[in-house]
Amino acid sequence: VLVRPKEEGYELIAGERRLRAAKKLCFTQLPAIIKDVEDAEALQLALIENIQREELNSLEEAQAYQRLISEFGFTQEKIARLMGKDPSSVSNTLRLLKLPQEIQAALRKGMISMGHARTILGLRSLTEQGRIFKRTIAKQLSVRELENLVTQGLGAVKRKRQRGRDPHLVALEEQLQQILGTKVKIIAGRKRGRVILEYYSVSDLERIINLLKSVK
């Protein structure tokens, strides 16, 4: 465990699970690393350990990521390296914070899963997100059933929007979305066009830029 000295003993910074396990086994001693750190660094270390706890739910993980970004200047790439995850995974987890509070509360309580939340995030309209969420709860839809419902609903809209669009451009959009881990829109003109990339935070934008720089 990691502790820091205090006036009346030591304060635990990291290793809460080990300490709990030691108490259950009635251990009276536990190896510890003593490190004199400031409050900010102690909070950072505690946050990182908290993220690594297996019992942390997806929304709590997203909130911890956001604190590392906003309070300690972490980028999504730095968090991904620290946690041994793909940057797109960190980005997708952070997107959960953009869900309406009602849906976040349901995810926190276990009423819906991460799979449900990610599927609902695919809907652009908050009104549509709320409508689909309520139907998911009322019908107790599985993730697969929800995906089918959203696909069927969006299919008609996409067919209207994409009528007359070049299938090659549509395929390129899908490829770019898979590579960059974000929504992509290609708008073609007669001689020139535009590629619109969505990002959800400054660190997410930096992640996309780094991905583009790495392409040779």
Q: Per-residue pLDDT tens for 46-88?
A: 777 777 766 678 888 888 889 888 888 888 888 888 888 888 8
Residue 39 lies in a domain: no
Better pLDDT: 162 or 81: 81
Residue 114 lies in a domain: yes
Residue 83 lies in a domain: no
Q: Is the pLDDT of residue 17 over 90?
A: no
Residue 194 lies in a domain: no
Residues involved in catalysis = 16
Residue 177 lies in a domain: no
Residue 62 lies in a domain: no
Q: Is the pLDDT of residue 195 over 50?
A: yes
CA distance 187 to 141: 35
Domain count, the chain: 1
**Cβ–Cβ under 8 Å, residues 74 and 67:** no
Residue 123 lies in a domain: yes
Q: Per-residue pLDDT tens for 1-11?
A: 778 888 788 88
* Domain range for 133: 99-163
**Cβ–Cβ under 8 Å, residues 149 and 137:** no
